[in-house]
Copies of this chain bind each other. A is one copy, B any other.
Amino acid sequence: MLKIEAIIRPGVLEDIKEGLAKFGIHGMTVSQVMGCGLQKGRTEVYRGTEYSINLLPKVKIEIIIADKHLDGVTDVVTKVARTGEIGDGKIFVSRMEDAIRIRTGEKGESAL
């Protein structure tokens, strides 16, 4: 079982959801994060004082999947989220030991 964490630009989420539905993947957890990387921030002014903002809003998607879906999922995310410009984001993959569906108590891949 793997966890895919994708840090992407806000706004491409719907397309990713659609893309994953092909593999029968519907479950995901989304949160709002701020990120910095190679992408440059922006400058704002307040009452005559300029300042730069270097953490930019990003969306983080977490999807727990069976190992076999790894390539499919990363492909979808990569394709949808890529604009080719700095700030497109990253995908991180890590291993999960177990999953439990609270409603039923099911464990393992059948809980996904």
Judged by a CB distance under 8 angstroms, whether A105 is at the interface is: yes
Asked if B90 and A97 sit within 8 Å, CB to CB, the answer is no
> Known: A38-B26, A55-B30. Contact between A102 and B77, CB under 8 A?
yes
A90 to B31, CA, bound (A): 16
Please list 17 pairs of residues, one from A and one from B, whose beta carbons are closer than 8 Å in the complex, sorted by A's number: A2-B97, A27-B35, A27-B90, A29-B60, A30-B36, A31-B31, A31-B32, A31-B60, A78-B102, A84-B103, A88-B102, A90-B99, A92-B100, A93-B96, A93-B98, A93-B99, A95-B95
Residues of A with Cβ closer than 8 Å to B?
2-3, 6-8, 17, 26-38, 54-55, 58, 60, 64, 74, 77-78, 81-103, 105, 111
